[in-house]
Chain A
Amino acid sequence: MPKLSDNSAGDERLLMGNEAIARGALEAGLQVAAGYPGTPSSEIVDSLSKAAGDVPLYVEWSANEKVSMEVAAAASFAGLRSLCAMKQNGINVASDFLLHLAGSGIRGGMVIVSCDDPGALSSVNEGESRHFARLVEIPLLEPGEFQEAKDMTRWAFELSEQLGTPVMLRSVTRMSHASGIVRFDSLPGKPRRAVFRCEGFMLDTDEGPMVSAPVGYRHEMQQERIRRARELFEASPFNTYEGPERPELLAVTCSAAALYCREAVSMLGAAGRVGILKIGTTWPLPVGLVKMRLAAAEKVIFVEEILPFLEENVKVIAAESAREIGVKTFYGKNEGTLPMNGELNPDRVAAAMAGILGIPFGDPAADYRRQAEAAAEAMAPQRGQTFCPGCPHRASFWLLQEALHLDNRKGFVCGDIGCYSLALLPCGFNSLKTLHAMGSGMGIASGFGKLGAFGMDQPVVTVCGDSTFYHAVLPALINAIHHRADVLMAILDNSGTAMTGFQPHPGSAVNALGEPAPHVDIETLCRSLGVSVEVRDPFDLAETRRAVNRLLEQGGVRVLVLRQSCALSPAKRAKRAFRVHVDDAACLGESCGCGRFCTRVFRCPGLLWDKAAGKARIDEVICAGCGICSFICPQGAIVKEVP
């Protein structure tokens, strides 16, 4: 079977962007990789962990992104090449360390990969990480296609090592999760030996301590590194230009948007009128190159996703060199030619260019489109996001909601990040009433839990997943305990980082390399903090609900671990605990006493409503066989049998 770690230069493979980045790192001689899973970044560390058996490489899934960056930095300090990868939110988490790391500099090449999610296809934000590179003054690279993702990653290590600074590589969902053909280069030979040279003089960057102080001195060095990067970038092969020498319209673009630009120009047949300046080294910008291209065009459009980063930085160059290059007309996000949020696509870009160039860009098949839209609207009902069949979260939120309703004091749940974020929606009975960053559920709950003094008598509940617990909940939990906040914390322990593909976390008995690892036990840890802990199975609906109601009556911090593996977990997948069917004679259907309770209220996708018969059914293809609906049915009409 072909592997990412094959030393087969010249091979061409169909790789996902994230795999291309991982391959580039392997070709650069990466020895340490760390990360925290988050869509769309997870496959980078996932594929490196698979390669780790074949090449000299240490890989870990760290407790959070900040720790992963610190782990990678340590390797770099010891002279090795290292990488950390995370989704955009992770850069926020790690940013405090990143600022100091930029100040101290690095030794072995170190690359920080941030995967942004324009359009928030799998995020609860549309954050933009590129500003961090400018903010902390480190170089930023953005690959524009798949071969480049690999090649640029490999080069990023050289650049990092040459300048002594961490380098940030920014990808987006349509790069990370898209695939293309990538030609392999060879893997390096011998691994480096790790030595942390730290005995030297305090200001010696090669032999001295790795620190960001003395600040003035170090900050100046850091800015010098950026100046040198700017010079290097002037000649970078990752900055390309295609189009006429004096284009009517210059498109300045980067990342996946570069592909949309090319497609748009092709759609408009405007190759002779539009020049595409694709920038791979987006911070610091190569001023000379940018000036040269600006000088050759009167109209400039910026095509990039999320915030106008290129746009604003290029405008600074244009302003500073206006006397040389003349006054330009700019199009982009700031004046509304392209949207400030959501994803771009070839059509949006083509429409924007067409408008500027005066090319008619109507819909040639408007009739078709109208007919198709009408048909889709009439016949293709939207798919609401929902928990998978057999998902323990459905049971957990079912019983939490019931308990809060029974408690009758308008209690609420502070949410956190994971699959269970979906409990904001009907599939989780709209349970979540706050939802922010990793760990924020407990932090916010800790604050709510102190408002009793001001008359708040609503019980406060927070939920977090097992992986999230280790990531950022722990400090908030300690805070709540120390300050005697009144909070019930339910840890939805589904035995892995389920959302992103079951990466191990500190509670797992194996690590990213598949080796046995000491698992940090949630209950023991919480108990050691002096807080009461109860462990329950959410599938034991009635008993667990009673336990929640009992806990709701108590004050202080209470921890309830709701433990049941994810339905997609390797252990459960394709195994059904029960065969489930509906007893027609007992099913009440729409009558008073039921009112389609299972399908209308419990809403598991494994159920069906047979309108003609007026009875519930089980969709045997979809049903995961958890059997929970048999407890839900008021008539006992849903029957589960051990197969």
Chain B
Amino acid sequence: MKLSEKNAVVYGLNTVVIRKKPLEEPARGAGQRELNEEVLDAGLCTGCGACVGLCPYQAIHGDATVALHRCDIRTGRCWAFCPRTKVDPAALRSIAALGADWTAELGPVRGLYLCRARDGANRGAAQHGGTVTALVRLALQEGMIAAAVLTGPGERLLPRPLTVTDPGKVPETGKSRFVASPVLAEFNRAAREGAGPIGLVATPCQALSVAKRKLSGRNLGDAAVDRLGLMVGLFCGWALSWRGLSGLLSGKLNLEAVSAMDVPPSKYRRLEVTAQGAPLHIPIDEVLPIVRRSCLSCDDMTAEYADLSVGSARLPEGWDEARHWNQMIVRTPRGEALVELARRREVLEFREVPEGNLERLKSASLRKKQAAREAEAKRS
């Protein structure tokens, strides 16, 4: 007889007991076991950090979420809050009360803007137009939020989530990192310590996780999401694996000195990495193999569940001009109120959205949704 955990127990170095009745496989639930099977083991983890810091069972190391110990709770927050577990999209939209503004391509859209920070210092420290930096600073200054969970530089290309309460510190978090940052783990920590209201700058997967939390958190005894005062979404095509990126860049430049990374519009087919001096151009074909597996299955490019979403701009003048601006989708009344405040306080400057930008954004988003469907079909 082949012995397994089902029919035998080893009690000591020389004690084996054969079970009279084989152990029954516990029925499927919605807890860590399912999280492992459906997400972690399937390579679909986004590294958002939603399941980390709620309990001692999951942890983040590098950019990977790891199940450290086995939890046997049938229904857990880890599974419920994970952006990659199944959820009813209609239910999600209903709790966000966004149905009226919902578009199939971009989620809720109350307005599309082209804008940037008016303050050059904010812009300089930021990825493109500094819109996110300016808005988060403003929200902190105006008391709309008391703390902001953001992402700063860590060691060796690894981003580090952090909680900022001093508006002056916001620009230090301005750059895109291209590696998943577990900001939701930091949010869990900050919420647990009683901070609030908390602002969050989130990628699409992180925004989705927060939406799922609004849907099911209270039923699971979790009220942390009530501490959320603002969610600024980031457009996102994909993130890179940390180990992959380190491998790709090591030998090419000093990893500790990397100050900025960017992916210009797709026709350039490259990743730009700035350490010292002029940016290093890495051909996109070398980059795509190290894209995080889970990003290929992601169907949200614009953070559809955020209050407002910000990404890079497209302008008739070309990339050299566009890279100093942002495109912004305002989605919720709360997002709208913040943008109005920014306009009144003259924190942001705006220019007219070129004709066709909305359509281009929609078709880019649709392409991602289509690619995600194909990736999922291939996987299953």
Contact = CB atoms under 8 A, between A and B. Distances in A.
Do A and B contact each other directly (Cβ–Cβ < 8 Å)? yes
Interface of A: 119-121, 124, 382-385, 401-402, 405-408, 421-422, 424-425, 549, 590-595, 597, 600-601, 632, 634
Contact of B12 (A385, A401, A595, A600): A385
B61 interface: yes
Interface string B212-235: 000000001100000000000000
B66 interface: yes
B14 interface: yes
Contact of A121 (B14, B56, B76): B14
B11 A383 contact: yes
Interface stretch (B67-75, B96-104, B130-138, B277-285): B67-75
A597 B56 CA distance: 8
B13 A595 contact: no
Contacts of A382: 9, 11, 15, 17
B200 interface: no
Contact of B55 (A385, A406, A549, A595): A595
A309 to B, nearest CB: 22
19 contacts: A124-B13, A382-B11, A382-B15, A385-B11, A385-B15, A401-B68, A402-B59, A406-B66, A408-B64, A408-B66, A421-B13, A425-B13, A592-B75, A592-B76, A592-B221, A594-B55, A595-B57, A595-B72, A597-B56
B13 A591 contact: no
Given A121-B14, A382-B15, A595 B71 contact: yes
A407 B59 CA distance: 11
B366 interface: no
Nearest to A119: B14
Given A382-B15, A406-B66, 8 more contacts: A382-B17, A384-B11, A405-B68, A407-B61, A425-B11, A592-B54, A597-B57, A601-B69
Interface string B53-95: 0111101011010111111110111000000000000000000
B10 interface: yes
A592 B61 contact: no
Nearest to A381: B11
B222 to A, nearest CB: 8
Contacts of A632: 56
A284 to B, nearest CB: 33
A634 B69 CA distance: 13
A147 B76 CA distance: 65
Contacts of A601: 56, 69-70
Contact of B68 (A120, A385, A402, A424): A402
B73 A425 contact: no
A407 to B, nearest CB: 7
A26 to B, nearest CB: 34
A32 B76 CA distance: 65
Nearest to A634: B56
A605 to B, nearest CB: 14
Contacts of A385: 11-13, 15
Interface in B27-67: 54-57, 59, 61-62, 64, 66-67
B320 to A, nearest CB: 40
What does DSSP make chain A's interface, helix, strand, loop or mixed? loop
B75 A405 contact: no
A595 B73 contact: yes
Nearest to B77: A592
A424 B61 CA distance: 25
Contact of A120 (B14, B67, B221): B14
Contacts, number: 72
Nearest to A117: B14
A385 B12 CA distance: 5
A119 B13 CA distance: 11
Contacts of A597: 55-57, 69
A405 B61 CA distance: 9
Contacts of A634: 55-56
Contact of B13 (A120, A593, A594): A120
Contacts of B220: 592
Nearest to A407: B61
A269 B321 CA distance: 107
Contacts of B66: 405-406, 408
A425 B68 CA distance: 17
A424 B68 CA distance: 18
B68 A422 contact: no
Contacts of A425: 10-13
A119 B12 CA distance: 13
A422 B12 CA distance: 8
Given A382-B17, A592-B73, A634-B56, A406 B68 contact: yes
A588 to B, nearest CB: 9
A402 B57 CA distance: 10
A250 to B, nearest CB: 33
Nearest to B12: A385
B13 A424 contact: yes
Nearest to B222: A592
Given A591-B221, A593-B54, A594-B55, A600 B72 contact: yes
Which of A422, A425, A595 has the most CB atoms of chain B within a 10 A radius of its CB?
A: A595
Which of B55, B59, B76, B221 has the most CB atoms of chain A within a 10 A radius of its CB?
A: B55
Contacts of B72: 595, 600
Contacts of B67: 405
A20 B71 CA distance: 52
A80 B229 CA distance: 87
B299 to A, nearest CB: 26
Nearest to A427: B12
Contacts of A406: 59, 61, 66, 68
A421 B11 CA distance: 13
Nearest to A588: B55
Contacts of A384: 11-12
Contacts of B221: 591-592
A86 B11 CA distance: 27
A375 B100 CA distance: 67
Contacts of A549: 61
Nearest to A377: B20
7 smallest beta-carbon distances between A and B, as pairs: A406-B61, A385-B12, A634-B56, A384-B11, A595-B73, A120-B14, A593-B55
A42 to B, nearest CB: 18
B13 A408 contact: no
Contacts of B76: 592
A597 B69 CA distance: 9
B17 to A, nearest CB: 6
Nearest to A602: B69
A408 B243 CA distance: 12
B66 to A, nearest CB: 5
Which of A401, A592, A601 has the most CB atoms of chain B within a 10 A radius of its CB?
A: A592
A591 B77 CA distance: 11
Contacts of A422: 13
Contacts of B11: 382-385, 425
A499 to B, nearest CB: 12
A590 B74 CA distance: 11
Interface string B254-285: 00000000000000000000000000000000
Which of B14, B61, B221 has the most CB atoms of chain A within a 10 A radius of its CB?
A: B14
B369 to A, nearest CB: 30
A55 to B, nearest CB: 38
A609 to B, nearest CB: 13
A285 to B, nearest CB: 31
Contacts of B62: 408
Which of B9, B55, B56 has the most CB atoms of chain A within a 10 A radius of its CB?
A: B56
A83 to B, nearest CB: 29
B55 A590 contact: no
Contacts of A402: 59, 68
B375 to A, nearest CB: 22
Contact of B73 (A383, A424, A590): A590
A616 to B, nearest CB: 13
B278 to A, nearest CB: 31
Contacts of A591: 73, 221
A632 B71 CA distance: 14
Contact of A592 (B9, B55, B59): B55
